[in-house]
Structure 1
């Protein structure tokens, strides 16, 4: 879906993020089409050809159940959450298959790829550090998640996956009936601007703490503190993106309105989260 020669390894670039958003839009159009709903105008020739082929299959084989499989690393939880929201919008089922693979195995698999298709080893190592596996305990929307090994699957394992998919298909995501619940849930996910300001403030707080630690900590201790703070920063950002961590509504509103007193209140809130035990 995303040309490797154009976007390969540029996971932080605006082009890469725009391309990922395009796939979300494509899946939404496909689901709308399959459900017989009104179509958007932003449909290209590729989407049309896929839709026509899919329609032929579903009609010829009289299939009433269609699985849309998104094969992607999706190492950030926020990448997957977009599709959960889509499932909720259309009252569809949603699940995750997490293929667990050690870094050493991934590096070995990578070496067996055809020339020109291998990935730089540091990319695999970096992605492993960023990977956020499904967390059913803290994120109810990830309840239907199954972890499977990366090794060759046995017949028993394949049957387990099929059973899991069939079970999930009978339990679609349900929209809250109460408008108040819908509004409350929409507040869980902050706007892009708020998340950006949170990230900027977290970096400032961490920078101040690291500078302050230079007078009282040894180099090894500073390095350890830097790693802990960086991990906590990523955890806080992801928590805010997914709604696990709620930024007070007054702070969100102040950030959106660009109020001058926002900085200190946001700093105080984030400082309380950025603690080292």
Structure 2
């Protein structure tokens, strides 16, 4: 088992300076003095992370979900169920990697981009050592997302810290407009994440609204990391066992829903093509769009009824197309 020092989450809504903090930490850990940071602050980082004074030994790893999903974002966030599966995939593989320190794909979750994302993940993890700190950046807008990584830390008895950057929505939207166009997030997405953000009392709260990130903020962040390194999490056996069972059930259900959804999408594609060819009214473009939206809404309702066990599907899913066709015709 790989006995790291701790896992640190850098989390918060978009445009709250998470990426900026990561860049600052990367520069600090590389012994660059920036933004008029006091020498004492630099020395503090060295005490925390470079106790063996071996500068060639990498004692920190940065992992960004944006980097893992680069090029696949639109497909991955197409629906929430799909997005959750990718999150489970990453968390599970980080846990597997720390426990076994072996680069192999152990996941039972089979997704479209699993192989590519795991390859990127292992490239990010390959420098982990027993003295490493793993710093993970993402929105982590549900407390349960952050709690999953605390459970990993508890299981392997290493430190854990959740550092939450936040600002008011107006400032976040303003910052977003100043980003390079390739880095911008839609205003709707930002507003949606702000609305659903689930705060936890365990988070270190850093308000970047008025002054952005300051040296005082960095000092608090470094102190929190030091505390996490010095106070490993304790394994809670019953909680972990219960969580493992719950997670296994969730994985199985989400895998099933994902596979059914893929079959339904193929069926719908054929169904729409046939309908558009045979029905005169679909020569009007708007009619095509309205019908396609209606069918896809039916698909989402059908999947939800399966999740809630109002519709029973055989394990091999062979009857799924017929069942959905019956559902469309109102016979289910």
- Tell me the number of residue pairs that the alignment of Structure 1 and Structure 2 aligns: 172
Measure the CA separation in 1 of the matches of 2:239 and 2:183.
45
Measure the CA separation in 2 of the matches of 1:29 and 1:90.
11
Match of 1:14 in 2: 81
Asked if residue 146 in structure 1 is aligned to residue 214 in structure 2, the reply is no
Measure the CA separation in 2 of the matches of 1:7 and 1:71.
19
Q: Is the 8 A contact 2:143 2:199 kept in 1?
A: yes
Q: Which runs of 4+ in 1 moved over 6 A?
A: none
After superposition, the CA RMSD in angstroms is 3.2
Task: Give unmatched runs, 5+ long, in structure 2.
Answer: 1-67, 107-117, 254-308, 313-332
Q: Is the 8 A contact 1:99 1:148 kept in 2?
A: yes
Q: Is the 8 A contact 1:103 1:125 kept in 2?
A: yes
Match of 2:13 in 1: none
After superposition, the C-alpha distances for 1:111-143 in whole angstroms (9 at most, x for unaligned) are 0111132211111111111001122xxxxxx3x
Measure the CA separation in 1 of the matches of 2:170 and 2:214.
22
Question: 1:29, CA displacement in angstroms?
Answer: 3.8
Bigger fraction of residues in strand: 2
Question: 1:85, CA displacement in angstroms?
Answer: 0.9
Max radius of gyration: which structure?
A: 2
Normalising to structure 1: TM-score of the pair? 0.53
Asked if residue 78 in structure 1 is aligned to residue 141 in structure 2, the reply is no
Asked if residue 50 in structure 1 is aligned to residue 124 in structure 2, the reply is yes
Q: Is the 8 A contact 1:87 1:173 kept in 2?
A: yes
After superposition, the C-alpha distances for 1:8-47 in whole angstroms (9 at most, x for unaligned) are 7827433322221221133224423xxxx46363175444
| DSSP-derived class of the 1:169 partner | helix
Q: 1:41 aligns with which of 101, 104, 111?
A: 104
Q: Is the 8 A contact 1:2 1:19 kept in 2?
A: no
**Larger displacement relative to structure 2 (101-110 or 2-11):** 2-11
Match of 2:16 in 1: none
Q: Structure 1's 153 and 13: CA in aligned 2 closer, same or farther, altered over 3 A?
A: closer
After superposition, the C-alpha distances for 1:185-227 in whole angstroms (9 at most, x for unaligned) are 6447983779x9xxxxxxxxxxxxxxxxxxxxxxxxxxxxxxx
What is the 5 A alignment of 1:75-224? 75-135=141-201, 142=202, 145-150=203-208, 151-176=211-236, 182-183=237-238, 186-187=241-242, 191=246
Q: Structure 1's 38 and 163: CA in aligned 2 closer, same or farther, altered over 3 A?
A: closer
Q: Which structure is higher in RCO with an 8 Å CA cutoff and minimum separation 6?
A: 2
Normalising to structure 2: TM-score of the pair? 0.45
Q: Structure 1's 7 and 100: CA in aligned 2 closer, same or farther, altered over 3 A?
A: same
Task: Give unmatched runs, 5+ long, in structure 1.
Answer: 59-63, 136-141, 177-181, 197-254, 259-277
Measure the CA separation in 2 of the matches of 1:188 and 1:82.
9
